[in-house]
Structure 1
Amino acid sequence: MELVKITDLPFYTEGPVVDKQGDFYCTTLNGGLVLKVDSRNKPVEWARCACPNGQFILPDGDHLICDSELGAVLRFNAEGTLLRNEIEGFCADERIFTPNDLVVDSQGNLYFTDSVRHTGKVFFIGIGGEQKVLIADLDYPNGLVLSHDERYLYVAESYRNRIIKLKLKMPGLGKGSYEVFADLPVHVSGDQHKNLPDGLALSKNGELLVAHYGMQAVQMLSAKGVLEVSVESGMPLTSNLCFLTEDSLLVTGGYGEPGPGGLFKIYF
């Protein structure tokens, strides 16, 4: 694997996504900016909000973005204009504190994490407007991703240093309780802040890629949850990742919070 730096930025980065044209985007949390990066790797301001975090591009080109300060999921059009709040403050009659990351299935159903210690949740908003708490009492749920067949939801539970897996009977309905998909490597220092799995991505072959925040690494797990490889990310704080192509990843993070930050690519 080859690691290539794209750019340094003043702020720690998150929320990597790529659009149909091959342009990619990231968020800057405390920087309040969503950035678009062109083919020359030049980042430009695309949108602003209070504290943009996880991001997802819908088939029509709209972006859904978690705003961790507003306790909201925001919708922007393809030009970066704020259209509306998809949800703010409460979901399923439960308070939303720190929406972190999100994923939308092929039908348009939305799953998002609320990153809270000990009582964190995974929320669900269906295409018909129904709202549910899908999983409760997690210790800082973070990144999440659906399996390709959308029968399973994977969630990074940061402070338990593990990935959990929920079988879905149907969208928004778990089939039994979740299971532990993988316990992740522990940093030799024993400091739990050197662990903390963050963003997730799924390869075409079903391997799970984990941005392991404090481990300065991207780790690949087999379809059975076995660690296959660990790659240095180039940043002490490794926040998130997404596939740019079948054999390359965009990796976000930084050297501290609120900054500075950076963007890297990993080529397989």
Structure 2
Amino acid sequence: MRNYSIPSLLSAFILLGFSSCKAQQKKAEDIIAKDAELTLVSDEYKFTEGPAVDANGDIYFTDQPNDRIVKWDAASNTVTDYMKPSGRANGLYFDHDGNLLAAADEKNELWRIAPDKKITVLIDDYEEKKLNGPNDIWVDLVGGIYFTDPFYKRSWWKHTEPEQTARRVYYLSKRSSTPKIVADDNFEQPNGIIGSPDGKLLYVSDNGAKKTYVYTISSNGVLSNKKLFADMGSDGMTIDNQGNVYLTGDGVTVFNSKGEQIEHIAVPESWTANVTFGGPDQNILFITAMDSVYTLAMNVHGVR
């Protein structure tokens, strides 16, 4: 048997810890492309939100106070209005058929916008009561729609109190026209939402409580096994091909799949609302922040 002295054991642990720290630091540095800089795309908005990437890598995002959806063309790095008015759209996400889903906040609805811009209202109530205000969306591998439903009082609403008794996460199966509650956990303000590439995990931010949780997704869309993922909330979120989760608020904070912070991307705005990956290779991080939108070249890429 080999004997080790206390000093040598301490040295070994210190070296192991140093190596682990260096490895984590290297991983954090590696997710951003070498010499990449945050680039302002445009600052002509009131409040930007809800970026969603289409099959070409172009990004659609919302300027909710101005009631419009804007398109960023990845090839030309230009922005143009896509839809105005837009039902005061907030969060957006593309389904597997190329339709743009929108949390249409004006009348507390969930919309499907076809490529020809024909609008279908998928949901306008739950149990004959108005939704609080659908906020953020994620589509699972079989086309089911998860969405958060917090309550943020809007100036364009006539009502001042929510009709629903709780702020929840809902799931709309592709085979159903009625959503079901999949998370009703005394949320303060459920907000950002994103699923893992394999469809097994769902990350949900309770932005009011400044917490982000992760759930296991069952075959019928029901959520279980709730765990604290990060001790911070998020207005919006995305995930990359390494399983890193990107949370927003004070810039963009990146956590690995274990919930360990590996990176913070500073954004020169008082609030960063949302984030996704765009470009033909989905390796451009697209960030919506207050009156502006930004891009950052990455070594990782987004997933659908």
TMscore range, shorter length? 0.7 to 0.9
Residue 94 of structure 1: how far off its partner (Å): 5.5
Q: 1:263 matched to which residue of 2? A: 293
CA contact (8 A) 1:132 1:172 kept: no
* Structure index of larger Rg: 2
Give the Cα–Cα distance (whole angstroms) in 2 for the partners of residues 42 and 12 of structure 1: 18
3-state SS in 2 of match to 1:46: strand
- Structure 1 residues 119 and 86 mapped into 2: Cα distance closer, same or farther (>3 Å)? same
Q: 2:9 matched to which residue of 1? A: none
Does 1:56 pair with 2:86? no
Residue 91 of structure 1: how far off its partner (Å): 2.6
Does 1:230 pair with 2:264? yes
Q: 1:253 matched to which residue of 2? A: 289
Q: 1:41 matched to which residue of 2? A: 77
Q: 2:234 matched to which residue of 1? A: 197
Q: 1:150 matched to which residue of 2? A: 199
Give the Cα–Cα distance (whole angstroms) in 2 for the partners of residues 141 and 210 of structure 1: 14
Which residues in structure 2 correspond to 1:1-268 (within 5 Å)? 1=32, 2-38=37-73, 39-47=75-83, 48-79=85-116, 81-88=117-124, 90-91=125-126, 95-116=130-151, 119-129=166-176, 130-136=178-184, 137-176=186-225, 178-184=226-232, 196-212=233-249, 215=250, 217-244=251-278, 245-254=281-290, 261-268=291-298
Residue 44 of structure 1: how far off its partner (Å): 1.5
Residue 13 of structure 1: how far off its partner (Å): 0.7
CA contact (8 A) 1:111 1:122 kept: yes
Residue 233 of structure 1: how far off its partner (Å): 1.8
Report the identity percentage.
24
Residue 168 of structure 1: how far off its partner (Å): 1.6
Structure holding more helix per residue: 2
- Alignment TM-score, normalising by the size of structure 2: 0.76
Give the Cα–Cα distance (whole angstroms) in 2 for the partners of residues 165 and 229 of structure 1: 19
Give the Cα–Cα distance (whole angstroms) in 2 for the partners of residues 36 and 246 of structure 1: 16
Give the Cα–Cα distance (whole angstroms) in 2 for the partners of residues 19 and 133 of structure 1: 28
- What amino acid is the match of 2:82? W
- Structure 1 residues 92 and 148 mapped into 2: Cα distance closer, same or farther (>3 Å)? farther
Give the Cα–Cα distance (whole angstroms) in 2 for the partners of residues 251 and 206 of structure 1: 18
Structure holding more strand per residue: 1
Superposed CA RMSD in Å reads 1.8
Aligned residues: 245
Give the Cα–Cα distance (whole angstroms) in 2 for the partners of residues 172 and 93 of structure 1: 23
CA contact (8 A) 2:64 2:88 kept: yes
Q: C-alpha deviations, 1:88-134, integer Å up to 9, x for none?
A: 1x235664111100011121111000013893110111122152111
CA contact (8 A) 2:67 2:87 kept: yes
Q: C-alpha deviations, 1:212-264, integer Å up to 9, x for none?
A: 2xx2x10000111011111112321100000114532100021xxxxxx1110
- Alignment TM-score, normalising by the size of structure 1: 0.86
